[in-house]
Structure 1
Amino acid sequence: MTVPDPDELLYLDAAQVADLSRTIDPLQVVTDSFLAVHAGKAGITPEAALRWRASDGTGARSLVLPAWHGDSYGCKIINACVGNPDRGLPRAHGLILLFDPDTAMPVCVMEGGRLSALRTAAVSLAAVRGVRDLGDIRHLAFLGAGRQADTHLELFAARTHPVAVTVHDMDAGRAAAFADRVARTLPDAAVEVAATPRDAVRAGDVTIAATTTTTAYVPLEWLPRGAVFVNVSLDDATEELLLGCDHLLVDDWPLVAEDETRLLGRLAHAGRVTGPDAAPPQGGRQVDADLATLFSGGYRRPVSAADRIVVNPFGMGVHDVALAALVYAAARRNGTGTRLAR
């Protein structure tokens, strides 16, 4: 990276980020990032969290996730309010900042919502690819029909061959609108709006849970043999599902274990769940592996076609920084962006 202009800061808006990211394969980026973390060539530091209640009583928060990947350094600031969908707004908004590796000067700030959604969906897809042949995925199920569902559909539709998609959302109108988008994206696939979350989960080879719930509700018995449940949101999976599935995978165990806002973190604090390198507690279980270990070939337990698998990703800023660095490089090549005076 060249020495930045001390008088300028590059800003990339949402449309510019979306356009530049079309040249990037997010699945490859997040997979490479996991392997880089495993090799000590990338990493994260503890995140900072600020939480409060909006004036209508809904929960709001701001997270700052610092990370580095090779010679790229930066952080993601991701804010969310669970009341936003009722206001006609996306639940989450964010920014990503990149820093010059030699001077530590901020060199770029970009809208982070698109990259955050891409990163999240790419991690889900990479995890599923780590345990299943993507060509065998025939039925996708979605719990929640917001932006994360759209982005997951976008990435999964490009890599799998679903013949059916089922969706459930507490807002029937939102579920119907998502089903319409599925019909346009996958015109040959059967699309169904499930009346209950149970109906959706029981239908899917892969279920993507992307809701705003803080109350766990998906038990083990809903999950068909051989299915993969990706718990993108906070607490869809119950303790029974987390403790009883055949394989429990996380992106980063220290992040998961330290956060008591999610059920798996609370179970860790209660001594009910331990990390991949610790013995399982009596009456509880051990997390089987993190995704970096899975992708590097270090996970030695066989994964059968009948096994029920839960992926519980926390969200690692290293993937956002890796994606943002590529977007920034493309912006500089193309002369894209607005130069702001410091």
Structure 2
Amino acid sequence: MQALPQPMRYLDRETVASLCARIDPLEAVTEAFLAVRANRSGVATEAALRWITPDGSAARSLVLPAWNDGAYGCKIINASLGNVDRGLPRAAGLILLYDSETAEPVCLMEGAQISALRTAAVSVAALRAVRPLPTVDRVALLGCGVQARTHLGLLAAHGAVKSVIVYDLSPSRREAFADELRAALPEIDVEIAADPESAVRSAPVTVAATTTTTAYVPLAWLPEGSVFLNVSLDDAAEDVLLGVEHLFVDDWHLVSEDDTRLLGRLAQAGRATAPGTEIPGARQVDADLAMLLSGAYARPIASTDRTVINPFGMGVHDVALATRVHALACDEDAGVFLPR
């Protein structure tokens, strides 16, 4: 007798958010990095579909397959830059988890919540390896969207940030964002910057989470001892990437193969190279984040050194977080089952 397919559980945005609140995202992404280093986890070839919408906005769909300690899955994350003006979230997506034996999809969940959380968790875990979080008393946020909000919330939850200075190209958006932060995090002083330079120069940590494809932050803006979290595409200028004392990436292969990012273009031009690989005239990336988080990075990071953390975004962290969410959902019989 033929076995019946397993039912597929669906977790909507509200359910995912509720379950995410009960897991430790820093622990999840750190363990995933260590598993990657031990060859127990990894990513497969990603796919990208890009187009221009009828109103002229850039849009894309990314497919990120990965495995993590025996769990297998895939994130599909889409975005349209015109969504902000439409009053919609810029990004939306889904995550699929598979049965490790039959390969059947067993869980489908809303993906934007986990995508934002894993991005912020990677940044904060890497920052924690460079600077003790309680010493990070001030942060500059470039871009006033979901990523900035998620990063700040996670930093605050781990004992960092007494004041924040925010900047966005849209004056109305930065005003509304500042008001939102004051209401949600009343213990944090919130300032609005008139320009990005004054924001970056005033803070020991900057989170760049914009949609720009044109670099605009030069090395001269970075204070001594500062950390620049280059979350979005191209905020950091060439002299930042080539001139800081420490440069970390999450996955060199992913970064170097992507010509939509400045560091990828520098790699393809032979001006930046992989950790441990020397090319005359090229900036060598100091380490990947798996090495940094494992404690194997041997070079001391002085209090005056400037550091750039440049995470590309690895699907293994989405799978790691989604697996924990799915386990909680199974324990509590959360979500709904979709017919096959």
TM over 0.5: yes
TM range (shorter): over 0.9
What secondary structure is seen at the aligned counterpart in 2 of 1:87? coil
Residue in 2 aligned with 1:303? 301
CA contact (8 A) 2:141 2:148 kept: yes
Answer yes or no: is 1:332 the counterpart of 2:330: yes
**Cα distance in structure 1, aligned partners of 2:147 and 2:19:** 20
1:175-224 deviation per Cα after TM superposition (whole angstroms, max 9, x unaligned): 11221222233323321100001011111111000000000100000010
Q: Is the CA contact 1:92–1:113 (under 8 Å) kept in the aligned structure 2?
A: yes
Aligned to 1:16: 15
Partner of 2:258: 259
Q: For each residue in 1:100-121, what CA deviation from the matched residue of structure 2 results, as whole angstroms up to 9, or x when unmatched?
A: 0000000011000000000000
Alignment-derived partner of residue 136 in structure 1: 135
1:125 aligned counterpart, secondary structure: helix
Q: How many matched pairs? A: 338
Report the secondary structure of 2:9's partner residue: strand
**Matches of 2:59 and 2:143, distance apart in 1:** 19
Q: Percent identity?
A: 60
Q: Deviations over 1:117-176 (max 9, x none)?
A: 000000000110011011110101100000001111110011133221000001111111
**TM-score relative to the length of structure 1:** 0.97
In structure 1, the partner of 2:316 is 318
TM-fit CA distance, 1:93: 0.6
Contact 1:7 1:341 in 2 (8 A): no
Structure 2 equivalent of residue 182 of structure 1: 181
Following superposition, the deviation at residue 5 of structure 1 comes to 5.9
CA distance in 2, matches of 1:181, 1:291: 32
- Partner of 1:114, secondary structure, is helix
Is the CA contact 1:46–1:66 (under 8 Å) kept in the aligned structure 2?
yes
Measured against aligned partners, the alpha-carbon deviations of 1:232-266 in whole angstroms (never above 9, x if no partner) come to: 10000010110011101000000000000000000
Give, in whole Å, the separation in 2 of the partners of 1:28 and 1:149: 20
Between the aligned partners of 1:232 and 1:302, the Cα distance in structure 2 is 24
Report the RMSD for the aligned CA atoms in angstroms. 1.1
In the alignment, which residue of structure 2 is the partner of 1:124? Answer: 123
How has the CA–CA distance of structure 1 residues 70 and 5 changed in structure 2, closer, same or farther, with 3 Å as cutoff? Answer: farther
Give the AA of the match of 2:206.
T
Work out whether 1:107 is the aligned partner of 2:91: no
Could you say what secondary structure the match of 2:67 adopts?
strand
8 A contact 1:274–1:281 mirrored in 2: no
Q: Which runs of 5+ in 1 are unaligned?
A: none
Distance 2:182 2:131 in 1: 25
- For 1:293 and 1:7, the matched residues in 2 are separated by 39
**How far off is 1:7 after superposition?**
5.3
Unaligned runs of 5+ in 2: none
CA contact (8 A) 2:205 2:227 kept: yes
What SS class does the counterpart of residue 230 from structure 1 fall into? strand
Separation (CA, whole Å) in 2 of partners of 1:5 and 1:250: 44
Aligned to 1:45: 44
TM-score normalised by structure 2 residue count:
0.97
**Quick one: distance in 2 between partners of 1:327 and 1:205?**
33
Q: Distance in 2 between matches of 1:70 and 1:230?
A: 28
Preserved CA contact (<8 Å) 1:31 1:126: yes
1:200 corresponds to: 199
Q: Give the whole-Å Cα distance in 1 for the aligned partners of 2:153 and 2:145.
A: 13
Match of residue 153 from structure 1? 152
1:280 deviation in Å? 4.2
> Is the 8 Å Cα contact of residues 13 and 110 (structure 2) preserved in structure 1?
yes
Q: Find runs of 4+ consecutive structure 1 residues off by over 6 angstroms.
A: none
How far did residue 230 of structure 1 move?
A: 0.4
Paired with 1:27 and 1:6, the residues of 2 have a C-alpha distance of 35
Q: Which residue of 2 aligns with 1:237?
A: 236
CA distance in 1, matches of 2:215, 2:324: 37
Structure 1 counterpart of 2:320, which letter? A
